């Protein structure tokens, strides 16, 4: 049986070599898709699912949380011979809401991991997600500019420059826009036949989870943002938060304004009080808001000081959304029903060395760093889910693989965080004087945007 919280150990900081499972050529029917790519430097057997045979050390799995990471992890486990019929998911099937809760910028790389977890092709997933209209929301490039707010309350967009394009990614698409609950709901549609047992339970301890497990030697995967009480370290008071506000837009005057181009996302920001008020604008199709053509999120890193007024910070970002949207020729769609706001704590970027046998805090391991600012939550969640499931099926402990797989993602998040926070003067200067070339300096070189296709 997995150990209790008391047996939580701390592995040494120095790099530990992780034991790989026995390898062989892929068996027929085993290899779903190649995940070729260097964003996570996954071992070959994990990229191609080419391990000799399933040799799990655990006989069942309890997955806590039905967000994207929980769904993906449960789906991959349930597709294996060893865990089929032995996965219990603690949560409720994804609820659909017009409100923009959670992330919408869908890096194309996330689709590779979603598809691999579900055992389907990316194109099948994309077709279902956008009802055959994926090409309308596919982004081939991102353009950046600085905005100004004049005294009369009007917003103006400065000179623009392209800083990310598909040509640096061998012509592959970079990203799409999707409502988070629609993404979760679509993943769910592909897993209803997988024999996963759902329980609407909120465990308060590891032993609660073990009681709900469908086997004698279960592995517990916590995909919720909060750790299980008593596990996952002492909660610290966050030093920083990210404040965010997001809304879908219709595009009645987009062409007349001539700033936003088709198949192009837009980054727009400016410095205020030592941090960047930043935003991204993406094409969006949403079955619950059929008039929506774009979505935008404004976000800002704030320090957790006694002076922090979270509601006031949120109001400024909401004003920016409407003002910049207007300058771009966009109108918010039913903002009273659709606008989402959030104040999310930041964590450190360090890999997590705490280890409790039989348990993994996947939510914590996937989300290390500054949330929202890099639009990397969904791919990180899917990557973490995939790595954890593959390791369990192959019979190796997932934590070291997970820490390793997240390295480039944490680094990219850290660089972005510096440019938006303490060094936002540099980000602001780049946006003002050379928006294209300036931002290219922090351009992703790790293939964390474009997918395989």
Ligand X SMILES: Cc1cc2nc3c(=O)[nH]c(=O)nc-3n(C[C@H](O)[C@H](O)[C@H](O)COP(=O)(O)OP(=O)(O)OC[C@H]3O[C@@H](n4cnc5c(N)ncnc54)[C@H](O)[C@@H]3O)c2cc1C
Where does this chain bind ligand X (CB under 6 A)?
A: 65-70, 91-92, 94-95, 102-105, 180-181, 184, 223-225, 244, 246, 297, 342, 344, 363, 366, 371-372, 375-378, 381
| Residue where the block lists tokens 């990180």 | 380
47/284 with CB nearer ligand X: 284
Q: Which two tokens stand for residue 41?
A: 């430097």
54 and 201 Cβ atoms separated by less than 8 Å: no
330/344 with CB nearer ligand X: 344
CB of 434 to ligand X, least distance (A): 25
Which of 68, 30, 79, 143 is CA-nearest to residue 389? 79
Task: Give the single-character DSSP code of 190.
Answer: T
CB of 163 to ligand X, least distance (A): 17
CB of 392 to ligand X, least distance (A): 18
CB of 189 to ligand X, least distance (A): 13
Which segments within 98-190 are labelled E, that is strand?
105-107, 141-149, 155-157, 161-165, 175-177
| 218 strand-pairing partners | 60
Which of 423, 362, 403 is CA-nearest to residue 76? 362
| Residue where the block lists tokens 């769910």 | 188
CB of 373 to ligand X, least distance (A): 9
21/103 with CB nearer ligand X: 103
53/197 with CB nearer ligand X: 197
Number of neighbouring beta carbons within 10 Å of residue 167: 10
65/248 with CB nearer ligand X: 65
CB of 277 to ligand X, least distance (A): 15
| Residue where the block lists tokens 């899917």 | 382
48/378 with CB nearer ligand X: 378
CB of 175 to ligand X, least distance (A): 9
| 89 strand-pairing partners | 63, 198
Residue nearest to ligand X (CB): 103
209/344 with CB nearer ligand X: 344
C-alpha atoms less than 13 angstroms from C-alpha of 316 in its C-beta half-sphere: 17
Q: Which two tokens stand for residue 4?
A: 């209790």
Return d(Cα 120, Cα 194) in angstroms, integer: 13
């Amino acid at each position: 049986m997995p150990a209790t919280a008391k047996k939580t150990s701390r592995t040494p900081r120095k790099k530990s070599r992780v034991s790989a499972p026995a390898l062989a050529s892929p068996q027929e029917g085993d290899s779903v898709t190649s995940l070729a790519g260097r964003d996570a430097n996954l071992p070959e057997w994990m990229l191609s699912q080419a391990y000799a045979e399933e040799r799990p050390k655990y006989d069942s799995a309890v997955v806590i949380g039905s967000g994207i990471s929980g769904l993906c992890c449960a789906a991959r486990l349930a597709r294996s011979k060893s865990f089929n019929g032995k996965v219990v998911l603690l949560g409720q099937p994804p609820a659909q809401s017009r409100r923009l809760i959670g992330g919408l910028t869908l890096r194309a790389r996330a689709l590779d991991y979603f598809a691999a977890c579900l055992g389907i092709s990316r194109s099948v997933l994309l077709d279902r997600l956008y009802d055959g209209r994926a090409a309308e929301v596919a982004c081939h490039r991102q353009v950046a500019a600085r905005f100004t707010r004049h005294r009369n309350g009007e917003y103006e967009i400065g000179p623009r420059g392209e800083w990310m394009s598909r040509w640096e990614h061998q012509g592959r698409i970079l990203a799409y826009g999707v409502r988070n609950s629609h993404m979760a709901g679509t993943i769910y549609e592909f897993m209803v036949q997988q024999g996963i047992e759902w329980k609407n339970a909120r465990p308060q301890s590891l032993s609660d989870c073990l009681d709900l497990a469908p086997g004698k030697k279960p592995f517990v995967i916590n995909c919720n943002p909060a750790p299980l009480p008593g596990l996952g370290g002492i909660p610290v008071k966050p030093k920083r938060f990210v404040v965010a506000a997001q809304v879908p837009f219709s595009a009645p005057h987009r062409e007349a304004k001539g700033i936003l181009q088709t198949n192009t996302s837009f980054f727009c920001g400016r410095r205020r009080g030592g941090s960047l008020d930043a935003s991204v604008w993406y094409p969006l199709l949403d079955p619950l808001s059929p008039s929506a053509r774009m979505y935008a999120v404004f976000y800002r890193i704030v320090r957790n000081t006694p002076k922090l007024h979270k509601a006031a910070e949120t109001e400024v970002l909401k004003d920016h959304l409407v003002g910049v949207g207007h300058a771009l020729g966009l109108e918010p769609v039913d903002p009273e029903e659709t606008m989402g706001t959030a104040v999310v704590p930041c964590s450190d970027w360090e890999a997590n060395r705490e280890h409790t046998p039989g348990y993994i805090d996947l939510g914590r391991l996937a989300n290390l760093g500054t949330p929202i600012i890099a639009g990397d939550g969904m791919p990180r969640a899917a990557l973490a889910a995939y790595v954890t499931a593959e390791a369990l099926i192959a019979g190796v402990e997932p934590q070291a693989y997970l820490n390793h797989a997240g390295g480039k993602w944490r680094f990219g998040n850290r660089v972005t965080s510096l440019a938006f926070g303490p060094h936002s003067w540099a980000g602001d200067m780049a946006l003002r004087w050379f928006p294209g070339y300036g931002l290219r300096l922090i351009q992703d070189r790790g293939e964390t945007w474009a997918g395989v296709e």
